[in-house]
Each structure stands twice: as structure tokens, then as C-alpha cells.
Chains A and B, each alone.
Chain A
Amino acid sequence: MSLQEKYKVLLDTAQSSGVNDLNYAEMDGVLQIRGTAPTADVKNKLWEIYGNIDPNFQTGDVVLNVDVATEVPGSQVKVITENSNLNIRKGPGTDQPIVGKAAKGEIITLISKANDQWWLVRTNDNEEGYCYAQYLESV
């Protein structure tokens, strides 16, 4: 069974739920998937389906890198850390000094994206700095 067959439900769902610029290819035995999901919900749904097909992602035959379209500069994003506060840093990197914190569940403003990992944000207390994009989700 090809990887595209194995992950058919995942690819079909990406297509049917409006993932933009959906692009996938099997490369070196790994199904690489790229695209832009219309909402964070769609992205989460895709990850849920992926996790159902390959529990705990143990097989490692997919790399799923899907952005969320609504996470654009100027938009509101929610802090989705597990329980701790999210560090806001002076620059994009964990070696940078912490200039502020955002609480779990707090809604803050996305100013710009330095790269895929580090986004410049502003909190409601007007603290501005970079934080790790993984812990932000569009609202």
C-alpha cells in the first residue's frame, strides 16, 4: 500500500476542508504534506486524523507542516501552553532575554512572523516581543 493510500483519509480531509495550496509528495519513503488550513480547527482535525492512522506518530512516514490562514499579522491569537505562562522574549530565540509573559488562554495580537517558529506579538499590557509560534493559535 502506498503512503498516499495509507493516508488517504488525511489527504481527502485536507482537500475537502479547504486547505489551500495543498501539496504532497512521497520523498525518500516519507509523505511530505504542506498547505494552509483555513482555521486552527481544520489543522487540529488533520492532526487528529494523522494520529489515528499512525498512533503516537511512531512510524514517522509523514511530515505534516500545515499553517493556518487566519494567523496573519494584526490578528488575535490565543496562548495555548499546557499550563505555564508563555515567555515573551526580546528577540527570536531562547537565548534572548525574557521581556514579558502571557498567561495560558490569554488573547494577544500577532504583529509579524520572524520565521515559522518565532512570532512577534503584543500583549494586552502592551508588552511586545517574540514568542514561540507553537503555543499560539488563531481565534
Chain B
Amino acid sequence: MATSAALSFSACKSGLSDDKLEEKIENALTGRKTVDVEVEKGKVILSGTVASEEEKQQIESIAKTAGDKDVKSIQNNIIVSAPVATTPAPIETSNNDAVLGAAVNTFMKDFPSVQASVKDGIISVTGTLEQAKIVTLKQGLDNLNPKKVDLSGIVVKK
């Protein structure tokens, strides 16, 4: 899909700037989040990490096709690294409001100027808090693995 689309719009144009060329190749590689593209005077530098040698070569050929005549050369610095685990364990979030609520109440004793409530795994906090303390609050609440931490009800004091 990406290959044929790239061919059709690169067929009759040449002399693209590095930025445009980079954009074009990046578009062709959409979805390959672990790969980075850089272009310097028509030289395409690919970096990042992929799971197999095949994928590394495939990305190079996609980049070559997408850039067409504007590509002077390709330096493929992509590292092949076999995935450590086949599938990472699913991320767990709290699904017990009673347990989460108790942990939140314990933690919130250090923040008397704000109040927290828990519903469906979501922690909502309201009140007034100094800006410097917000990161401590958020870190502590995130450590409890909630589904969400809603701090939009906090008035931030400078």
C-alpha cells in the first residue's frame, strides 16, 4: 500500500528539499514507531530498533521507493534486536475502588489542602495546591495504578 502510493506521487518530481524528502519517507513509514529518519543533502539516515533483519531491509526498501530519485544514498543504522518477551504482560489498573480509595486516603494525608475521591478506578482531586507539590501528588497517585488521575479540579498556586 505505502509503496504504490509513494511511487505514484514521486514519479514526475525531483529536487526535493531534505525536509520534504524526510517528510515523504516518514509518511511512507507511518506506524513504524521505533524507526527514525533523517536526511542530509539527499543522504537518508535510518536509525532505531526493529525486531528482525527482514524488517530492517524492508524499511530501507520502503525509504528508497518513497524517496525515489531524490535519494542519493541510504545509510541504514537500524539495530536489530530480538524482542525480549513475545508479549509483555498486560498492564494492570486498579479495579477495586475500596482498596484504591483506602490507599488514596492514606497518601492524601500529606496534602490537606486538596480532597480526593475514587470512582470506577478514577481518582479525582479538587482543591488548591502549590505548583511545586503537584508532581509529588501525581507521582504518588500514579503509583497506585489507577485508571486515570483527574487533577483538572485543582487550582494551582504559583
Q: Which residues of A contact B (CB under 8 A)?
A: 4, 8, 15, 21, 23-25, 27-30, 32, 34, 47, 51, 56-61, 63-65, 82, 93-94, 116-117, 132-134
Contact = CB atoms under 8 A, between A and B. Distances in A.
Contacts of A57: 134-135, 138, 149, 151
A86 to B, nearest CB: 11
Contacts of A133: 143
A32 B106 contact: no
B16 to A, nearest CB: 24
A65 B145 contact: yes
Contact of B151 (A56, A82, A117): A56
Interface residues of B, number: 34
Interface of B: 33-34, 88-91, 93, 103, 106-107, 109-110, 131-136, 138-140, 142-152, 154, 156
A34 B131 CA distance: 25
A93 B140 contact: no
Most central of A21, A29, A63, A133 by chain B CB within 10 Å: A63
Interface of B is mostly: mixed
